[in-house]
Structure 1
Amino acid sequence: MRKELGKMVIVVIGSLLLASSLNFFLIPADVFASGFTGISQLLSYIVPLSTGVLLLLLNIPVAILGWLKVGKSFTIYSFMSVVLTAIFLEVIPVYAFSQDIMLNAVFGGVIGAAGAGLLLKWGASSGGLDIIVLVLARYSDRPVGSFFFILNSIIVVASGLLLDPEKALFTLISIYVTSRFIDTIHTRYVKLTAMIVTKNADKLNKAIHERLTRGITRIPAKGGYTFDEKEMLVIVITRYELYDLKNIVEEVDPAAFTNIVETANIFGLFRKD
Structure 2
Amino acid sequence: MVSIDRGDDSRHGVWDDVQAIAMGTFFAAIGIEFFRDAHLGTGGTAGVAFLIHYATEFGIGPVIFLLNLPFYAFGWVTLGREFTLKTFAAVALLAVESYFMHDAFAIGFSAPWFSAITGGALTGVGMLMLFRHKSSLGGIGILAAFVQEKLGWRAGKFQLATDLAILAASFLVLDWRHVALSVLGAVVLNLVLAVNHKPGRYNGY
Q: Could you tell me how far apart the structure 2 residues matched to 1:139 and 1:121 are?
A: 18
Aligned with residue 182 of structure 1, among 193, 198, 202: 193
Q: Could you tell me how far apart the structure 1 residues matched to 2:54 and 2:128 are?
A: 28
Aligned to 2:28: 18
Aligned with residue 159 of structure 2, among 142, 148, 155: 148
Using the aligned pairs only, state the percent identity.
21
Aligned to 1:112: 123
Q: Could you tell me how far apart the structure 1 residues matched to 2:155 and 2:15 are?
A: 32
Aligned to 1:131: 142
Q: Could you tell me how far apart the structure 2 residues matched to 1:118 and 1:142 are?
A: 22
Q: TM-score, normalised by structure 1?
A: 0.65
Aligned to 2:90: 81
Q: Could you tell me how far apart the structure 2 residues matched to 1:32 and 1:19 are?
A: 14
- Report whether the alignment pairs 1:53 with 2:66: no
Post-superposition offset of 1:34 = 2.0
Task: Give the aligned CA root-mean-square deviation in angstroms.
Answer: 2.1
Aligned to 1:68: 77
Aligned with residue 102 of structure 1, among 104, 113, 120: 113
Aligned to 1:90: 99
Q: Contact 2:160 / 2:190 at 8 angstroms: preserved in 1?
A: no
SS at match of 1:46: helix
Q: Could you tell me how far apart the structure 1 residues matched to 2:147 and 2:193 are?
A: 20
Unaligned runs of 5+ in 1: 195-238, 245-273
Change (3 A) 1:17 1:165: same
SS at match of 1:20: helix
SS at match of 2:130: helix
Q: Could you tell me how far apart the structure 1 residues matched to 2:158 and 2:195 are?
A: 21
For residues 165-176 of structure 1, the aligned pairs below 5 Å read 165-176=176-187
Larger radius of gyration: 1
Q: Could you tell me how far apart the structure 1 residues matched to 2:83 and 2:184 are?
A: 30
Q: Could you tell me how far apart the structure 1 residues matched to 2:72 and 2:127 are?
A: 17
Change (3 A) 1:97 1:108: farther
What letter matches 1:15 in structure 2?
T
Q: Could you tell me how far apart the structure 2 residues matched to 1:124 and 1:112 are?
A: 14
Unaligned runs of 5+ in 2: 1-11
CA deviation vs aligned residue, 1:179-213 (integer Å, no higher than 9, x gap): 111223322xxxx468xxxxxxxxxxxxxxxxxxx
CA deviation vs aligned residue, 1:197-235 (integer Å, no higher than 9, x gap): xxxxxxxxxxxxxxxxxxxxxxxxxxxxxxxxxxxxxxx
Q: Contact 1:16 / 1:115 at 8 angstroms: preserved in 2?
A: yes
Change (3 A) 1:11 1:143: closer
Q: Which has the higher strand share?
A: 1
Post-superposition offset of 1:136 = 2.2
Q: Could you tell me how far apart the structure 2 residues matched to 1:110 and 1:148 are?
A: 16
SS at match of 1:159: helix
